[in-house]
């Protein structure tokens, strides 16, 4: 059974502080480009807006991701709830990349998740 992420508490050891700042994915891309790994320390799905939120604890920033990432984020949250410690161990990251959206003929910023060994 899938866990509904907004009902989960105490999965991640790094709590999101009240002073965490929301930043746009585009702004993160402008600041770091495609080369840098950005480490994720917490994540959840905002049930009101149905968008995944990831927390970069080392930078105290929150990033709202497009709805198309919700299933993937739910999978990572469920794996953590079942005992996977990759996020809590500080090994889970994402990198940004761009691709050409042929339907709208523009470059799009996308996210690729990964984990250090």
CA distance 87 to 13: 9
Reported pTM: 0.85
Q: pLDDT of 16-57, one tens digit each?
A: 888 999 999 999 999 999 989 999 999 988 888 888 899 999
Q: pLDDT of 95-106, one tens digit each?
A: 999 999 999 999
Alpha helices in 62-107 (DSSP H): 70-81
Domain boundaries along the sequence of the chain: 17-115
| CA-based nearest residue to 97, from 113, 109, 115 | 109
CA dihedral 61, 13, 68, 51 (to 10 degrees): -60
> How many Cα atoms within 13 Å fall on the side-chain side of residue 77?
24
């Amino acid at each position: 059974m899938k866990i509904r992420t907004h009902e989960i508490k105490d999965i991640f050891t790094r709590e999101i502080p009240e002073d965490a700042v929301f930043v746009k994915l585009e702004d993160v891309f402008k600041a770091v480009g495609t080369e840098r790994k950005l480490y994720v320390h917490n994540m959840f799905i905002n049930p009101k807006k149905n968008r995944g939120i990831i927390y970069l604890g080392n930078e105290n920033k929150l990033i709202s991701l497009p709805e198309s990432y919700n299933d993937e984020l739910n999978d990572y949250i469920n794996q953590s709830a079942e005992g996977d410690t990759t996020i809590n161990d500080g090994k889970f990251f994402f990198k940004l990349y761009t691709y050409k959206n042929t339907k709208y003929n523009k470059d799009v910023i996308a996210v690729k998740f990964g984990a250090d060994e």
